Amino acid sequence: MYIVIVLLFFIVGTIFGSFYNVVGYRIPRGESIMYPSSHCTKCNHKLGPMELVPILSFLFLKGKCKNCGEKISSFYPIFEFLSGVLFALSFIIFGFSWQCLLSIVFISMLLIIIVSDMKTMIIPDSVLIIFSIIIIIIKYFMVGVPGIVYSLLDSLYSFIFMLMLKLLGDFLFKKESMGGGDIKLLAVFGLTIGFPISIISVVMAAFIAIPVIIIILKNNSSHILPFGPFLAISAIILNFLNIDIKTILEIITI
Protein backbone atom coordinates (compact mmCIF):
# COMPACT_ATOMS: atom_id res chain seq x y z
CA MET A 1 0.00 0.00 0.00
CA TYR A 2 2.87 2.34 0.88
CA ILE A 3 4.45 1.86 -2.55
CA VAL A 4 1.12 2.59 -4.22
CA ILE A 5 0.79 5.88 -2.32
CA VAL A 6 4.35 6.87 -3.23
CA LEU A 7 3.58 6.07 -6.87
CA LEU A 8 0.41 8.17 -6.70
CA PHE A 9 2.37 11.12 -5.34
CA PHE A 10 4.88 10.67 -8.17
CA ILE A 11 2.14 10.57 -10.83
CA VAL A 12 0.41 13.64 -9.40
CA GLY A 13 3.78 15.38 -9.27
CA THR A 14 4.44 14.73 -12.96
CA ILE A 15 1.01 16.12 -13.86
CA PHE A 16 1.54 19.26 -11.82
CA GLY A 17 5.08 19.52 -13.15
CA SER A 18 3.73 19.65 -16.69
CA PHE A 19 1.33 22.41 -15.64
CA TYR A 20 4.01 24.33 -13.74
CA ASN A 21 6.14 24.39 -16.86
CA VAL A 22 3.32 26.20 -18.67
CA VAL A 23 2.77 28.57 -15.75
CA GLY A 24 6.47 29.41 -15.47
CA TYR A 25 6.68 30.11 -19.19
CA ARG A 26 3.49 32.14 -19.66
CA ILE A 27 3.00 34.25 -16.52
CA PRO A 28 6.18 36.35 -16.94
CA ARG A 29 5.04 37.09 -20.49
CA GLY A 30 1.63 38.22 -19.32
CA GLU A 31 -0.06 35.33 -21.12
CA SER A 32 -3.04 33.30 -19.95
CA ILE A 33 -2.22 29.93 -18.43
CA MET A 34 -5.49 28.54 -19.81
CA TYR A 35 -5.61 29.89 -23.35
CA PRO A 36 -4.41 28.99 -25.87
CA SER A 37 -4.21 25.32 -24.95
CA SER A 38 -0.90 23.48 -25.23
CA HIS A 39 0.36 23.42 -28.79
CA CYS A 40 3.43 22.96 -30.95
CA THR A 41 5.38 26.21 -31.00
CA LYS A 42 6.31 25.70 -34.66
CA CYS A 43 3.11 24.57 -36.43
CA ASN A 44 0.59 25.52 -33.68
CA HIS A 45 -0.80 21.97 -33.71
CA LYS A 46 -3.14 21.64 -30.72
CA LEU A 47 -1.98 18.77 -28.53
CA GLY A 48 -4.52 16.01 -27.97
CA PRO A 49 -5.05 14.11 -24.70
CA MET A 50 -2.58 11.37 -25.66
CA GLU A 51 0.05 14.01 -26.40
CA LEU A 52 -0.27 15.55 -22.96
CA VAL A 53 0.55 12.53 -20.81
CA PRO A 54 3.62 13.52 -18.73
CA ILE A 55 6.85 11.74 -19.73
CA LEU A 56 5.08 8.94 -21.67
CA SER A 57 3.91 11.21 -24.49
CA PHE A 58 7.48 12.31 -25.13
CA LEU A 59 8.58 8.68 -25.33
CA PHE A 60 5.70 7.56 -27.56
CA LEU A 61 6.19 10.51 -29.91
CA LYS A 62 9.97 9.88 -29.90
CA GLY A 63 10.58 13.48 -28.91
CA LYS A 64 8.93 14.97 -32.01
CA CYS A 65 5.73 16.84 -32.82
CA LYS A 66 3.11 14.44 -34.19
CA ASN A 67 2.08 16.95 -36.86
CA CYS A 68 5.25 18.60 -38.18
CA GLY A 69 8.06 16.51 -36.75
CA GLU A 70 9.62 19.42 -34.85
CA LYS A 71 11.96 18.17 -32.12
CA ILE A 72 10.56 18.50 -28.59
CA SER A 73 13.00 19.67 -25.93
CA SER A 74 14.01 16.92 -23.49
CA PHE A 75 13.63 19.55 -20.76
CA TYR A 76 9.90 18.76 -20.56
CA PRO A 77 10.05 15.05 -19.60
CA ILE A 78 13.06 15.65 -17.33
CA PHE A 79 11.23 18.46 -15.53
CA GLU A 80 8.09 16.35 -15.19
CA PHE A 81 10.08 13.40 -13.85
CA LEU A 82 11.88 15.54 -11.28
CA SER A 83 8.59 17.11 -10.22
CA GLY A 84 7.19 13.63 -9.62
CA VAL A 85 10.26 12.63 -7.61
CA LEU A 86 10.02 15.75 -5.42
CA PHE A 87 6.33 15.17 -4.70
CA ALA A 88 7.04 11.55 -3.81
CA LEU A 89 9.96 12.55 -1.58
CA SER A 90 7.71 14.96 0.29
CA PHE A 91 5.46 12.06 1.25
CA ILE A 92 8.34 9.67 1.96
CA ILE A 93 10.04 12.14 4.31
CA PHE A 94 7.05 13.82 5.97
CA GLY A 95 4.21 11.30 5.53
CA PHE A 96 0.59 12.43 5.62
CA SER A 97 1.06 15.72 7.49
CA TRP A 98 0.80 19.48 7.24
CA GLN A 99 4.57 19.50 6.75
CA CYS A 100 4.13 17.31 3.67
CA LEU A 101 1.56 19.73 2.25
CA LEU A 102 3.82 22.68 3.05
CA SER A 103 6.71 20.93 1.31
CA ILE A 104 4.64 20.27 -1.82
CA VAL A 105 3.36 23.85 -1.98
CA PHE A 106 6.85 25.28 -1.43
CA ILE A 107 8.36 22.98 -4.06
CA SER A 108 5.56 23.86 -6.48
CA MET A 109 6.45 27.53 -6.20
CA LEU A 110 10.12 26.79 -6.70
CA LEU A 111 9.48 24.66 -9.79
CA ILE A 112 7.54 27.51 -11.39
CA ILE A 113 10.32 29.95 -10.51
CA ILE A 114 13.00 27.69 -11.99
CA VAL A 115 11.20 27.70 -15.35
CA SER A 116 10.33 31.38 -15.17
CA ASP A 117 13.80 32.61 -14.26
CA MET A 118 15.57 30.30 -16.70
CA LYS A 119 13.42 31.29 -19.66
CA THR A 120 12.65 34.96 -18.96
CA MET A 121 14.99 36.12 -16.15
CA ILE A 122 11.86 37.09 -14.21
CA ILE A 123 10.50 35.88 -10.87
CA PRO A 124 6.83 36.94 -11.03
CA ASP A 125 5.48 38.82 -8.00
CA SER A 126 2.09 37.16 -8.53
CA VAL A 127 3.61 33.72 -7.99
CA LEU A 128 5.39 34.81 -4.81
CA ILE A 129 2.28 36.50 -3.40
CA ILE A 130 -0.14 33.64 -4.13
CA PHE A 131 2.13 30.97 -2.71
CA SER A 132 3.02 33.11 0.32
CA ILE A 133 -0.68 33.36 1.19
CA ILE A 134 -1.10 29.59 0.84
CA ILE A 135 2.01 28.99 2.97
CA ILE A 136 0.70 31.31 5.71
CA ILE A 137 -2.63 29.44 5.75
CA ILE A 138 -0.84 26.08 6.10
CA LYS A 139 1.43 27.52 8.78
CA TYR A 140 -1.66 28.62 10.73
CA PHE A 141 -2.79 25.00 11.03
CA MET A 142 0.76 23.91 11.89
CA VAL A 143 1.85 26.48 14.48
CA GLY A 144 -1.05 28.87 15.04
CA VAL A 145 -0.95 32.67 15.11
CA PRO A 146 2.17 32.98 17.34
CA GLY A 147 4.11 30.73 14.98
CA ILE A 148 2.99 32.78 11.97
CA VAL A 149 4.28 35.95 13.66
CA TYR A 150 7.71 34.34 14.08
CA SER A 151 7.62 33.15 10.47
CA LEU A 152 6.80 36.67 9.26
CA LEU A 153 9.73 38.01 11.27
CA ASP A 154 11.98 35.37 9.69
CA SER A 155 10.69 36.54 6.32
CA LEU A 156 11.54 40.15 7.15
CA TYR A 157 15.04 39.25 8.38
CA SER A 158 15.69 37.24 5.22
CA PHE A 159 14.48 40.09 3.02
CA ILE A 160 16.71 42.62 4.80
CA PHE A 161 19.73 40.31 4.55
CA MET A 162 19.27 39.78 0.82
CA LEU A 163 18.69 43.51 0.26
CA MET A 164 21.92 44.36 2.09
CA LEU A 165 23.75 41.70 0.08
CA LYS A 166 22.44 43.23 -3.14
CA LEU A 167 23.48 46.75 -2.12
CA LEU A 168 26.95 45.47 -1.24
CA GLY A 169 27.21 43.66 -4.58
CA ASP A 170 26.04 46.73 -6.49
CA PHE A 171 28.71 48.79 -4.73
CA LEU A 172 31.53 46.32 -5.35
CA PHE A 173 30.70 45.51 -8.98
CA LYS A 174 29.46 49.01 -9.91
CA LYS A 175 26.34 47.50 -11.51
CA GLU A 176 23.19 45.65 -10.55
CA SER A 177 24.38 42.44 -8.92
CA MET A 178 21.02 40.88 -8.16
CA GLY A 179 17.43 41.19 -9.28
CA GLY A 180 14.60 42.33 -7.05
CA GLY A 181 12.91 38.96 -7.55
CA ASP A 182 15.75 37.18 -5.76
CA ILE A 183 15.34 39.46 -2.76
CA LYS A 184 11.59 38.85 -2.54
CA LEU A 185 12.13 35.14 -3.10
CA LEU A 186 14.36 34.95 -0.05
CA ALA A 187 11.58 36.54 2.00
CA VAL A 188 9.40 33.55 1.08
CA PHE A 189 12.29 31.26 2.06
CA GLY A 190 12.34 32.90 5.48
CA LEU A 191 8.59 32.46 5.77
CA THR A 192 8.79 28.76 4.90
CA ILE A 193 12.10 27.29 6.07
CA GLY A 194 12.97 30.03 8.55
CA PHE A 195 15.87 32.33 9.33
CA PRO A 196 18.86 31.77 9.23
CA ILE A 197 18.21 28.62 7.17
CA SER A 198 17.23 30.96 4.34
CA ILE A 199 20.68 32.54 4.54
CA ILE A 200 22.30 29.12 4.29
CA SER A 201 20.34 28.62 1.06
CA VAL A 202 22.12 31.66 -0.43
CA VAL A 203 25.55 30.27 0.43
CA MET A 204 24.60 26.82 -0.86
CA ALA A 205 23.19 28.32 -4.06
CA ALA A 206 26.44 30.19 -4.65
CA PHE A 207 28.44 26.96 -4.39
CA ILE A 208 26.02 25.14 -6.70
CA ALA A 209 26.35 27.97 -9.24
CA ILE A 210 30.17 28.03 -9.24
CA PRO A 211 30.67 25.15 -11.76
CA VAL A 212 28.16 26.74 -14.15
CA ILE A 213 29.85 30.12 -13.85
CA ILE A 214 33.25 28.56 -14.57
CA ILE A 215 31.90 26.91 -17.73
CA ILE A 216 30.36 30.18 -18.90
CA LEU A 217 33.57 32.12 -18.28
CA LYS A 218 35.61 29.41 -20.00
CA ASN A 219 33.47 29.79 -23.11
CA ASN A 220 33.85 33.58 -22.93
CA SER A 221 30.09 33.92 -22.86
CA SER A 222 28.44 37.19 -21.90
CA HIS A 223 25.26 35.37 -20.91
CA ILE A 224 23.71 36.73 -17.71
CA LEU A 225 23.12 33.90 -15.26
CA PRO A 226 19.82 33.89 -13.33
CA PHE A 227 20.37 33.16 -9.64
CA GLY A 228 16.79 32.12 -8.89
CA PRO A 229 17.12 28.49 -10.06
CA PHE A 230 20.17 27.96 -7.85
CA LEU A 231 18.34 29.46 -4.88
CA ALA A 232 15.42 27.17 -5.64
CA ILE A 233 17.61 24.06 -5.77
CA SER A 234 19.30 24.90 -2.46
CA ALA A 235 15.93 25.63 -0.82
CA ILE A 236 14.56 22.27 -1.98
CA ILE A 237 17.55 20.49 -0.44
CA LEU A 238 17.20 22.38 2.86
CA ASN A 239 13.46 21.77 2.87
CA PHE A 240 14.02 18.03 2.80
CA LEU A 241 16.83 18.19 5.37
CA ASN A 242 14.30 19.96 7.64
CA ILE A 243 16.97 21.47 9.88
CA ASP A 244 16.39 24.37 12.27
CA ILE A 245 18.49 26.94 14.13
CA LYS A 246 18.84 24.60 17.13
CA THR A 247 20.39 21.92 14.93
CA ILE A 248 22.78 24.45 13.39
CA LEU A 249 23.93 25.66 16.80
CA GLU A 250 24.52 22.05 17.91
CA ILE A 251 26.65 21.42 14.81
CA ILE A 252 28.66 24.62 15.34
CA THR A 253 29.35 23.82 19.01
CA ILE A 254 30.54 20.27 18.33
pLDDT per residue as tens digits for the range 29-51: 888 777 777 766 667 667 777 76
- Report d(CA 8, CA 104) in Å as an integer: 14
Alpha helices in the chain (DSSP H): 2-26, 56-60, 75-94, 98-120, 125-173, 180-193, 197-218, 228-241, 245-252
CA-wise closest residue to 184 among 250, 116, 137, 248 = 116
Residues 143 and 254 in one domain: yes
Look up residue 22 and give its amino acid: V
User: Are residues 160 and 86 located together in one domain of the fold?
Assistant: no
* Residues 109-148: b if buried by 16+ CB within 10 A, e if exposed: bbbbbbbbbebbebbbeebbeebbebbeebbeeeeeeeeb
* Same domain, residue pair 55 and 178: no
Residue 119 lies in a domain: no
pLDDT class of 254 with cuts at 50, 70, 90: low
For residues 82 and 30, membership in a common domain is answered with yes
pLDDT digits (tens, 9 = 90+) for 166-190: 888 887 777 776 778 889 999 999 9
How many folded domains does the chain comprise?
Answer: 2
Provide the domain limits for residue 18: 1-96
What does the pLDDT average to over 1-20? Answer: 94
Is residue 120 one of the residues assigned to a domain? no
SS3 71: strand
**Under 8 Å between Cβ of 100 and 94:** yes
Residue 171: the pLDDT is: 78
Domain check: are 199 and 242 in the same one? yes
User: Does 91 share its domain with 191?
Assistant: no
Q: Which pTM was predicted?
A: 0.90
Residue 88 sits at the vertex; the CA angle it makes with 7 and 74, to the nearest 5 degrees, is 90
